[in-house]
Amino acid sequence: MFYFVKTPRWLKRIYDSYIWSMPAKDKDLYLTFDDGPHPEATVFVLKQLKQHNALATFFCIGKNVVAYPDIYQQIINEGHAVGNHTYNHLNGWKTSNDDYMRDIGFASQEIDSDLFRPPYGRITSFQAKNLKPVMKGKEPRVIMWDVLSGDFDTECTPEQCLANVVLAAVPGSIIVFHDSEKALAKLKYILPRILHYFSEKGYSFKSL
């Protein structure tokens, strides 16, 4: 499986209307979690974040919000940000514009946010330019990432996922994890160590 652990500058320049990282004014990191809420993974993440006084951003799938409304509300109650990740985790490059926009609109009925992250990072320019009407008229912010942990990659060991983040993250980095069944075993190894390591280095964890 090929992907960039660290998003190259040339890619950020090509798609400069998307948000890839935050201003590096302070030693802040922006942890993001995709594909939840999940009854075990999300609860684990929330517990770890609370132990380190860390905030994060959860890009939620609409159908999972419907399935686990209490966990979704817990995310909000504990001060974290939420974002729209479509209703059915659709790939924008492989879905008709009408179907894709309709799916985002369904998700926006459950997820009140101006943040949008396209599943797989796949979205067309047309889709990106037409998000506002299907997101309740909010001015959308398309959130990509600076660092991929690789927790979704079955060939990437937990130790390598940890190294990916430790070696690639810098102040202002937006980092991707997944609060999903598939990533849970790796997340249990990675997340406590990430929070401890960067806390010891004087970093803070903020939401978008």
In a domain, 4, yes or no: no
Inside any domain, residue 123 = yes
pLDDT band for position 25 (cuts 50, 70, 90): confident
Q: Specify the number of domains making up the chain.
A: 1
Rounded-to-integer distance, Cα 64 and Cα 153, Å: 21
Residue 94: strand, helix, or coil? helix
pTM of the model: 0.97
- Predicted local confidence at residue 56, as pLDDT: 98
Contact 93, 122 (CB under 8 A): yes
> What CATH number does the domain containing 111 carry?
3.20.20.370
Each residue of 96-134: pLDDT tens digit?
Answer: 999 999 999 999 999 999 999 999 999 999 999 999 999
The confidence score (pLDDT) of residue 45 equals 98
List residues bridging with 84 in a β-sheet: 60, 116
* Residue 206 belongs to a domain: no
Closest CA to 110 of 138, 129, 85, 130: 85
Domain that holds residue 177: 9-200
